Amino acid sequence: MFPLSEEQLHKILSIALSRGGEYADIFLEDTRMSSLELQDNTVSQAQQVMLYGAGIRVVQGTETGYAYTMDMSPESMQQAARFAGSIQRAGSMCHVPMLKPAPILTPDTPMLDPEASEEILLSINRRAHEISPLIVRVKATIAQRMQTIKFVCSEGTGFSDHRPRTTLFISVVLQKDNQTQMGFGSRMYQRGAEFITPELIEELLQETVQQALFLFDAKQIEGGEMPVVMAAGSSGILMHEAIGHAFEADFIRTGESIFTGKLGQRICDNHITIVDDGTQPHDAGMLRYDDEGIRGQRTTLVDKGILTSYLHDRISARHFGVQSTGNGRRESFRHIPLPRMRSTYMCAGEASEEDIIRNVKRGIYAQTFTNGQVQIGAGDFTFFMKKGYLIENGHLTTPLRDMNIIGNGPQALQHISMVGNNLKIDHSAGMCGKGGQRVGVSQGLPTILVDKLVVG
């Protein structure tokens, strides 16, 4: 699959560091992507994409030289190595130890063939129309990415890995009394299509249809500052967008994050613990090794209210004099690695969801969200709540839809007064964008009570 021997890779690393530099690595990739889409009762759109190439990086302090090539011949790779190393000031050549054999972590996972994908999509279409006669349109997509990589670095270490990823997306449009509403849902895992069972299809269809039916009767209310109960699962977007990005150590290093300089300090109540985890099997953010050769791990960011770690790649770890947390990630060989989240969630507390709701006299129960906007440095956010309820005297009453929830991530963290015992990881198709790159992630949350946010 990759034509270069360990000796040739060793020579390329030596060329990359021939002008100086503290560190160099090579990221080789062979990726195949395919998708099949059903729309208007017909499987009509198919796509296939291939990515094949290598990226070479040279690091000196916080400066990076990077070059990539789609030609993996020794000559082309050596030329890319010289280009990546050209940012360095002339200096003594760094010694590169002989490379150890890179362990192969997982065998290849076969892609789902088009005929099998088509049958799954047609079965989704048939079952959707059986569930509700109000359905006027069904759209479903199966997408797969099979990424095989090999990584070596100037420390003499490396690894090879196969990273399968399969996504199922379903949306339905319902019409009732001259109204039209849409429900949608998805699942994404680092595995083959074997998780797309009839039971999973039924679960996802029921979820999407019930979401659309809910919206027919839901309303909007006059907003203002009030308590907000965030439901377990998809509300974890609060952890990812409003809080998680501010823990990424490149924003700490440049002073952009509001959490800069607060390591070891209390930033919220002692019943809150926040984790970024790369070890959950088949999770979208799982990493046996990150894209810089650091073994996947579970990192506690906030331990009982105390900020204990940032999310580090190799550059930020060297800058701060700590070990990398295994958060160096990249979209493909065309991109440099950056500190990125994996699966970010708040650990379960002790309160039941019923007790949390019972403690609210008047507020909002926010259940599902769509898009939002976040200012990473300050942590200010606006999320669009698609589905929720009004809470009155400790009870869920009026169904609500299409309302904004506005706040500040660090302040919201300080205003969390109750944490539920029902942590749920959201395995919807979550892609995180940063620096022009997109990588798979997940997030999670138990039910929490934020004492005050702006609803409008």
Quick one: 53 and 147 in the same domain?
yes
Q: What is the average per-residue pLDDT within 242-268?
A: 94
Q: Give the end of a domain, one of 195, 217, 239.
A: 217
Q: Judge residue 314's burial from the number of C-beta atoms within 10 Å of its C-beta, 0-12 exposed, 13-18 middle, 19 or more buried.
A: buried
Q: Give the end of a domain, one of 184, 217, 250.
A: 217
Q: Is the residue at 13 inside a domain?
A: yes
Residue type for position 160: S
What is the C-alpha to C-alpha distance for residues 256 and 424, in angstroms, rounded to an integer?
30
Quick one: 161 and 132 in the same domain?
yes
Quick one: 200 and 247 in the same domain?
no
Domain count, the chain: 2
What is the C-alpha to C-alpha distance for residues 45 and 128, in angstroms, rounded to an integer?
20
> For residue 102, is pLDDT > 70?
no
Q: Is the residue at 275 inside a domain?
A: yes
Give the tokens for residue 2.
């990759």
Q: Is the residue at 168 inside a domain?
A: yes
Please name every residue paired with 116 in a beta bridge, in sequence order, or none if there are none. none
Q: What is the average per-residue pLDDT within 230-249?
A: 92
Task: Give 360-390 pLDDT, tens digit per residue.
Answer: 999 999 999 887 778 877 889 999 999 999 9
Residue 265 to residues 118, 303, 304, 305, Cα–Cα distance (Å): 54, 10, 11, 8
Please name every residue paired with 380 in a beta bridge, in sequence order, or none if there are none. 408
> For residue 435, is pLDDT > 80?
yes
Q: What is the average per-residue pLDDT within 402-423?
A: 95
pLDDT of residue 44: 83
Quick one: 448 and 323 in the same domain?
yes
224 Cβ partners below 8 Å, 6+ apart? 454, 455, 456
Q: How confident is the model at residue 123 (pLDDT cuts 50, 70, 90)?
A: very high
Q: Is the residue at 180 inside a domain?
A: yes
> For residue 103, is pLDDT > 70?
no
pLDDT of residue 365: 98
Domain that holds residue 189: 6-217
Q: How confident is the model at residue 127 (pLDDT cuts 50, 70, 90)?
A: very high
Quick one: 159 and 52 in the same domain?
yes
Which helix (H) or strand (E) segment is 36 a member of?
strand 23-39
Quick one: 207 and 317 in the same domain?
no
Task: Give 155-181 pLDDT, tens digit per residue.
Answer: 999 999 999 999 999 999 999 999 999
Quick one: 384 and 418 in the same domain?
yes
Q: Is the residue at 208 inside a domain?
A: yes
What is the C-alpha to C-alpha distance for residues 428 and 170, in angstroms, rounded to an integer?
11
CATH code of the domain in which 163 resides: 3.30.2290.10
Quick one: 170 and 312 in the same domain?
no
- Average of per-residue pLDDT values in the chain: 94
What is the C-alpha to C-alpha distance for residues 109 and 193, in angstroms, rounded to an integer?
9
Q: What spatial distance separates the first Cα and last Cα of the chain, rounded to whole Å?
A: 54
Q: What is the average per-residue pLDDT within 426-445?
A: 94
Query: Around 366, how many Cα atoms within 13 Å sit in the side-chain half-sphere?
Result: 31
DSSP 339-392: E--SEEEEPP-SB-HHHHHHT-SEEEEEEEEEEEEE-TTT-EEEEEEEEEEEEE
Quick one: 210 and 320 in the same domain?
no
Q: Is the residue at 20 inside a domain?
A: yes
Nearest CA to 393 out of 364, 420, 358 is that of: 358
> For residue 206, is pLDDT > 90?
yes
Q: Is the residue at 423 inside a domain?
A: yes
Q: Give the end of a domain, one of 172, 194, 217.
A: 217
Quick one: 272 and 212 in the same domain?
no
> For residue 438, is pLDDT > 80?
yes
354 Cβ partners below 8 Å, 6+ apart? none
pLDDT of residue 238: 85
Quick one: 182 and 263 in the same domain?
no
Residue 47's SS3 state is: strand
Task: Give 299-331 pLDDT, tens digit per residue.
Answer: 999 999 999 999 999 999 999 999 999 999 999
Quick one: 47 and 140 in the same domain?
yes
Q: Is the residue at 1 inside a domain?
A: no
Share of the chain above pLDDT 70, in %: 97
pLDDT of residue 88: 64
